[in-house]
Amino acid sequence: MKKILFPALILFGAFSAKAQKVYPAMGKIISYDNSFSSIVPADAKVEAIASNIIWAEGPVWVKDGGYLLFSDAPRNTIFKWDDKTGLTEFLKPSGYTGLGQYSDEPGSNGLMVNLAGELVACEHGDRRITKMNFKLGGKIAIADKWQGKRFNSPNDICQHSNGIYFFTDPPYGLPNRENDTANREITQNGVYSVLPDGSVKQIVADLKRPNGIALSPDEKLLYVSQSDGSVPYITAYPVNKDGTVGKGKIFFDFNTVKDKLGNAAADGMKADVNGNIYAGAANGIVVISASGKLLGKIETGVPTSNCAFGDNGYLYITAQHYVCRVKLLSIAK
């Protein structure tokens, strides 16, 4: 991973204690369907609200406090951003508590706030899912093994209203990724569920690079993206009550839109209340309807990992060295 900084944007200070109300603009809005204008207007401004990040990932909006958290896995740090204070360090270490160098991306990746109001993190280096009370601190492991074997590097996570967690486990956080024979204990790049009683199930085992994960608004479907150019699919799986899933169907194949998006594959993703999917892909956030139709793209111009809905109408985007935001018109969750 190349550590490239962009001085023109660093001027507003990723680590400054002062917030600036006017942020640099980057990227543009691209529409592929007339309905996209009801989600984000064509003249919407993509604001770069923070920079000087090595690799921004896993954003989550914390409603109780009105701020954004996101991971910088190479720095092993979770950062906090709000419009008044700007960017500050929230938690370090975020995903690896060992000594010395572990890998290029030892820190946390996907973040979420669970039903109990706790911060949940996918930890690369410690190879587990944890939860933490915002006020009391102190991490508690939700899951760190399947059948006695340590996970590869939990990547992204979501939670059903019945309390069941679903998460992906690709090899991206291992020191030598898929070739890490010294540390790897599970051969599959799996998708897992964690039931309220703590039991762990491997629910999908045949994906090359499972990455992003999200539930449909009615929670009947589990979407999983693959960040593999040979099979750049978002697959939809019917959700069973016991935490397993049924046979998956391709929801969206990026191969079918190469004329618009090039050789793209999805990273992290979120679903809004209308079932639209917002996926990090093709140097931006690609928006896909609930029926699998490409609607448009919020282009950042740089590799883009994930997004999160704020309760203030903004979509927050983690894009390489930046965190961006854009004001949406439609209601999202």
Q: What is the pLDDT of residue 331?
A: 65
d(CA 281, CA 267): 6
211 is in an annotated binding site: yes
* Residue 6: inside a domain: no
SS3 264: coil
Look-up of token digits 């990746």? 109
* Residue 251: inside a domain: yes
**Ramachandran area for residue 299 (φ above 0: left; ψ -120 to 50: alpha; else beta):** beta
**Residues 50 and 86 sit within 8 Å (Cβ to Cβ):** yes
* 300-74-205-160 Cα dihedral, nearest 10 degrees: -70
Inter-CA distances, 266 with 23, 215, 223, 286, Å: 27, 16, 11, 9
Q: What is the pLDDT of residue 13?
A: 44
pLDDT tens per residue, range 161-195 = 999 999 999 999 999 898 888 899 999 999 999 99
Q: How many domains does the chain have?
A: 1
Q: Which of 156, 267, 272, 311 is catalytic?
A: 267
pLDDT tens per residue, range 56-102 = 999 999 999 999 999 999 999 999 999 999 999 999 999 999 998 99
CATH code for position 234: 2.120.10.30
Give me 44's structure tokens. Answer: 């919407």
34 is in an annotated binding site: no
Q: What is the pLDDT of residue 178?
A: 85
Q: What is the pLDDT of residue 174?
A: 94
Q: In what order do the strands lie in the sheet with 200-204?
A: 157-159, 165-169, 190-194, 200-204
- Rg over alpha carbons for the chain, rounded to the nearest Å, is 18
Nearest Cα residue to 178 out of 153, 213, 203:
153
* Residue 15: inside a domain: no
Residue 260 parent element (H or E)? helix 258-261
Residue 97: half-sphere exposure toward Cβ, Cα within 13 Å: 8
184 is in an annotated binding site: no
**Residues 271 and 315 sit within 8 Å (Cβ to Cβ):** no
Specify the DSSP class assigned to residue 27.
-
Catalytic residue status for 267: yes
Q: What is the pLDDT of residue 22?
A: 87
Spans in the chain with pLDDT lower than 50: 1-20
267 is in an annotated binding site: yes
57 is in an annotated binding site: yes
179 is in an annotated binding site: no
Q: What residue numbers bound the domain in which 55 lies?
A: 28-327
Q: What angle do CA 53, 56, 59 make, to 5 degrees?
A: 135
Give the global pTM: 0.92
* Residue 9: inside a domain: no
Contacts of residue 331, Cβ cutoff 8 Å, sequence gap at least 6? 272, 273, 274
* Residue 3: inside a domain: no
d(CA 12, CA 23): 8
* Residue 155: inside a domain: yes
* Residue 5: inside a domain: no
Q: What is the pLDDT of residue 124?
A: 98
Inter-CA distances, 132 with 111, 122, 150, 193, Å: 11, 12, 21, 19
**Residues 234 and 277 sit within 8 Å (Cβ to Cβ):** yes
Look-up of token digits 């720095």? 75
